[in-house]
Amino acid sequence: MTSDGIETTFDLLIFGAGGHAKAASDCAKDKYSSMCFVSGDDVNGEWKGVPIIPEARYSFGQWKQISKKAFVAIGNPSRRAMVTAELEANGFEIVSLVHPSAIVSPSAELEPGVFVGPNAVINADARIDRGAIINTGAIVEHECCVGPFSHLSPGSIICGGTRIGEGCWICTGTTVSDHIVIGDHTVIGAGAVVIKDLPDHVMAAGIPSRIVKELNEEK
């Protein structure tokens, strides 16, 4: 232990200790030989050999001595955005994690903090903005843009030229037709088929999809 109370160092800090953090560790293990989960819920222990350390144990300065590389594995998009901004402000390097089985075009652009899960596909000239989740088996076709901190759930398909806004949740099995624009913080229910643009802060569902609820902007 150092004079600053640091017990050990790691190649990567994963902020979060839930299911998404476990999936993130699977993506990270081929690139980072050592990592730990940083729990915001004062959880202490380990999972499959990966230590779980409460965030409150150390200051940001001390965490940065443990590792300057961080990934935010928090499912809630607003919380994920807040923690990402806080880490960046404190000088951490936010990394992206891509599962070895995923296919990412050389011409695609991934910003920091992106998660690309097993068997996901990101095709030519697609852009995935910071903190977005492209989950298991999701497909992002050519020239699409997925906005910051949005989440494409397993098996969702986003066809060519589509624009997904910030903080959206595209639920499992959804298909979005080509050249569609989805507004910020919009939710699309599981199995929906989207053939028309959708505005900000709505929930849509069905085949074809229709707006079923207005969402509170503050949430």
What's the pLDDT tens digit per position in 67-126? 999 999 999 999 999 999 999 999 999 999 999 999 999 999 999 999 999 999 999 999
| Rounded average pLDDT over 53-75 | 93
**Same domain, yes or no: 180 and 196:** yes
Work out whether strand 145-146 and strand 163-164 pair parallel, antiparallel, or are unpaired: parallel
Q: Is residue 214 part of a domain?
A: no
Burial (0-12, 13-18, 19+ Cβ within 10 Å), 178 = middle
Q: Is residue 4 part of a domain?
A: no
pLDDT of res. 201: 97
Q: Is residue 212 part of a domain?
A: no
- Confidence at 1, pLDDT banded by 50, 70, 90: very low
Decide if pLDDT at 203 tops 60: yes
**Same domain, yes or no: 48 and 141:** no
Give the DSSP H/E element, type plus range, for residue 81. Answer: helix 77-89
Which residues have a catalytic role annotated? 142
Reduced to 3 states (helix: H, G, I; strand: E, B; else coil), residue 140 is strand
Reduced to 3 states (helix: H, G, I; strand: E, B; else coil), residue 74 is coil
Cβ atoms < 10 Å from Cβ of 155: 19
Per the CB < 8 A criterion, the answer to whether 172 and 120 are in contact is no
Q: What is the pTM of this model?
A: 0.93
**Same domain, yes or no: 203 and 143:** yes
- Confidence at 2, pLDDT banded by 50, 70, 90: very low
Which of 65, 94, 123 is the endpoint of a domain?
94
Distances (CA, A) of 204 to 100, 184, 210, 214: 33, 13, 5, 9
pLDDT of res. 5: 55
pLDDT of res. 75: 92
